[in-house]
Amino acid sequence: MGEFDLITKYFAAERLRRDDIVVGIGDDGAVLRCPPGMELVVAIDTLVEGIHFPADTAPADVGFKSLAVNLSDLAAMGAEPAWATLALTMPRPDEVWVADFCQGFFRLAQAHGVALVGGDTTRGPLTISVQAHGWVPAGQALRRRGAQPGDLIYVSGTLGDAGLGLAQRLGRCMLPSEPLGGAAACVARLNRPEPRVALGRALRGLASAAIDISDGLSADLGHVLERSGVGARLEVNRLPQSEYYRLVAAENPRCFGKSLVSALPACAFFALTAGDDYELCFTIAAARVAELESVLANVGCAVTCIGLIDSEPGLRLSLQDGHCLPFEPTGYAHF
């Protein structure tokens, strides 16, 4: 199957109509209409086989995740997703692989009303770049900068489950088999992260700063602190963990590897530093927490207050025993 047949059969077959698409797949570029009064938000992320996903990952999971990580970036900006482009590089024109990839990709695209409007198809080591486009009312994009001393720090969902899923996938640990489905749920968190789009939208005009957690909470919160010119104190015992995560901590703590900070249990270090959570971390003025609670009813995920912004630069951890220790943001970095 040739390049153009692949494009026609799998990418151009119209799956989602949006009336803001003037020209879609099939021309030299897409022509798109942004609603009046809105600003365009653009994000791109690349997944490389062997680096971002193990080589034996199901193509449908790769398809899902390649879009999910971009929608997560849009969510962190408070944007409404609308369109995506896809640059696909693969060693050979593997139709079975592409069909399966599309199944995962379009499943998430449809769930969020995102239309694929263009792309590029080339030969080379398996690499997927997706660019997502969305919009926000002018001036309302959420930013990394803007956190103020006294603001509360929140995180959505739970931390570290995807990290456990990766440890299991790489054979670094054996997750407990009971309760049934616990280990599979961790692998699902790794392969099919649910971008927190509704939460991001609800945080417009409410959060003082936001970021999505791709490289680990401490590393990504570190970006917010740096951009905002502030510091933070996190309560270690408030870090949200799933029930299964706590069970692993009790039964098989070796799954978390080693803590690089002696006073910190490995399961807490892992929750702070493992990547692939794709939760949102945001800050909000204490006076606006009641408003936050009122919008949460419609966003479909829980949020947890984990600490406080202060004016002293850097990140500090409050431990259960009352001790406070400085923590160097640690997470995944390519270089």
Tell me how crowded residue 148 is: count the other CB atoms within 10 A of its CB: 16
How many Cα atoms sit within 13 Å of 221 on the Cβ side?
35
Interface with ligand ADP includes 158 (CB under 6 A)? no
- Shortest Cβ distance from residue 83 to Mg ion (Å)? 17
Kindly tell me which residue out of 121, 131, 208, 273 binds ligand ADP, with binding defined by CB under 6 A: 121
Q: Which two tokens stand for residue 73?
A: 């970036």
Interface with ligand ADP includes 14 (CB under 6 A)? no
Q: Which is nearer to Mg ion, 87 or 188 (CB)?
A: 87
Interface with ligand ADP includes 214 (CB under 6 A)? no
Q: Which residue is nearest to Mg ion (CB)?
A: 120
Angle (nearest 5°) at CA 142 between 136 and 146: 150
Number of residues interacting with ligand ADP: please give it, by CB under 6 A: 13
Q: Which is nearer to ligand ADP, 121 or 208 (CB)?
A: 121
Q: Which stretch binds ligand ADP (CB under 6 A): 70-78, 113-121, 173-181, 182-190?
A: 113-121
Q: Which stretch binds Mg ion (CB under 5 A): 113-121, 140-148, 248-256, 258-266?
A: 113-121
Interface with Mg ion includes 120 (CB under 5 A)? yes
Interface with ligand ADP includes 104 (CB under 6 A)? no
3-state SS track over the chain = CCHHHHHHHHHHCCCCCCCCEEECECECCCEECCCCCEEEEEEEEEEEECCCECCCCCHHHHHHHHHHHHHHHHHHCCCEEEEEEEEEEECCCCHHHHHHHHHHHHHHHHHCCCEEEEEEEEECCCEEEEEEEEEEECCCCCCCCCCCCCCEEEEECCCCHHHHHHHHHCCCCCCCCCCCCHHHHHHHHHHCCCCCHHHHHHHCCCCCEEEECCCCHHHHHHHHHHHHCCEEEEEHHHCCCCHHHHHHHHHCHHHHCCCCCCCCCHHHHHHHHCCCCCCEEEEECHHHHHHHHHHHCCCCCCEEEEEEEECCCEEEEECCCCCEEEECCCCCCCC
- Shortest Cβ distance from residue 118 to Mg ion (Å)? 9
Q: Which stretch binds Mg ion (CB under 5 A): 119-127, 278-286, 298-306, 309-317?
A: 119-127
Q: In whole angstroms, give the CA distance from residue 231 to residue 219.
A: 13
Kindly tell me which residue out of 21, 75, 88, 224 binds ligand ADP, with binding defined by CB under 6 A: 88
Q: Which stretch binds ligand ADP (CB under 6 A): 118-126, 134-142, 250-258, 266-274?
A: 118-126
- Write the binding mask 21 to 60 for ligand ADP: x where contact by CB under 6 A, - elsewhere: ----xxxx--------------------------------
Q: Which is nearer to ligand ADP, 22 or 324 (CB)?
A: 22
Q: Which residue is nearest to ligand ADP (CB)?
A: 119
Burial of 202 (0-12, 13-18, 19+ CB in 10 A): buried
Q: Which stretch binds Mg ion (CB under 5 A): 117-125, 145-153, 220-228, 244-252?
A: 117-125
Interface with ligand ADP includes 120 (CB under 6 A)? yes
Q: Which is nearer to ligand ADP, 106 or 282 (CB)?
A: 106
- Shortest Cβ distance from residue 64 to ligand ADP (Å)? 16
List interacting residues with Mg ion (CB under 5 A): 120
List interacting residues with ligand ADP (CB under 6 A): 7, 11, 25-28, 86, 88, 116, 118-121
